[in-house]
């Protein structure tokens, strides 16, 4: 029987600490058996797969993971290789590095490796993504938008993601790059989904029961558009500023959580006390 409390996704806002306490990477390492389980580093998003793969490989070895491999699948041809498919089948945790999220879906989409990835996820493999690897986890992902600007209509480009987490749109490097405007545009255009903005060195740990908790040093912002009473979103006057009424936002930090089913935030300690 599937454990509904098991973590199945860890979504990192990018620039996770790699030199200090390494809280997030340490947490990633702790949820698998360091002596037996395979941790697979997927470098498909980056144009420097060898350097990035070797860097994360060294980090996870330093954190005590004995069985670390790098998945070099940086072309659609490489996404058909049997050894890459076998690596995916054997993995207990897959870690997607940063880079360009559109590279991930354009390289993997519809390939045998993507099918193996979906099967691994359904079978209990944990998927982790940082930066571009975070955005790609949702069904719809932001691929381009204005940073550090007031929200404007028709300034956002979105595309299908991997679809591991439903009914959300994720943005990363959130406060550091001033991305509140573009996430508001995405929710004005798609008010039925939640917008989740994740700061650098911050992550959400998503469980199969539909809740997540926050870890790391920054904040997570959840934008709920169901209460919107009015917006001016349309293709007319595309450079016009976005106007949006009655949007709801939660700001969460370490120790806070969120129920994706009920759309309600909570404090982890309070939830544990209620369960006891």
Residues belonging to the active site: 131, 173, 200
The residues pairing with 129 across neighbouring beta strands, listed in sequence order, are: 11, 96
CA–CA separation, 106 and 159 (whole Å): 10
Token match 């993995």: residue? 91
CA–CA separation, 99 and 23 (whole Å): 22
> Alpha helices, DSSP H only, in the chain?
23-30, 49-62, 82-90, 101-108, 112-122, 132-135, 180-189, 268-275
CA–CA separation, 265 and 148 (whole Å): 27
Q: Is residue 238 packed enough to be buried (19+ CB in 10 Å), middle (13-18) or exposed (0-12)?
A: exposed
CA dist 120 to 86, 129, 225, Å?
11, 15, 32
- Tell me if 23 sits within 8 A of 200, measured CB to CB: no
Q: Which two tokens stand for residue 149?
A: 């600007």
């Amino acid at each position: 029987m599937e454990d509904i409390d098991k973590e199945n996704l860890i979504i990192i806002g990018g620039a996770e600490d790699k030199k200090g306490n390494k809280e997030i990477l340490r947490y990633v390492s702790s949820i698998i058996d360091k002596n037996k389980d395979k941790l697979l580093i997927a470098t498909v998003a980056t144009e420097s797969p060898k350097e990035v793969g070797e860097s994360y490989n060294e980090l996870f070895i330093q954190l005590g993971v004995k069985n670390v491999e790098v998945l070099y699948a940086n072309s659609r041809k490489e996404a058909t290789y049997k050894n890459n498919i076998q690596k995916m089948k054997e993995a207990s945790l897959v870690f997607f590095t940063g880079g360009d999220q559109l590279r991930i879906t354009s390289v993997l989409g519809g390939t045998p490796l993507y099918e193996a990835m979906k099967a691994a996820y359904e079978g209990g493999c944990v998927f982790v993504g940082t930066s571009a690897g975070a955005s790609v986890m949702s069904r719809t992902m932001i691929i381009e938008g204005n940073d550090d600007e007031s929200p404007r209509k028709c300034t956002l480009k979105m595309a299908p993601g991997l679809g591991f987490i439903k009914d959300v749109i994720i943005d990363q490097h959130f406060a550091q790059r001033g991305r509140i405007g573009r996430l508001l545009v995405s929710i004005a255009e798609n008010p039925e989904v939640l917008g989740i903005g994740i700061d650098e060195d911050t992550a959400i740990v998503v469980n199969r029961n539909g809740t997540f908790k926050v870890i790391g040093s920054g904040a997570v912002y959840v934008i709920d558009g169901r209460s919107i009473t009015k917006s001016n979103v349309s293709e007319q006057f595309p450079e016009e500023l976005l106007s949006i009424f009655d949007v709801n936002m939660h700001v969460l930090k370490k120790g806070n959580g969120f129920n994706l089913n009920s759309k309600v935030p909570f404090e982890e300690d309070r939830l544990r006390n209620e369960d006891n």
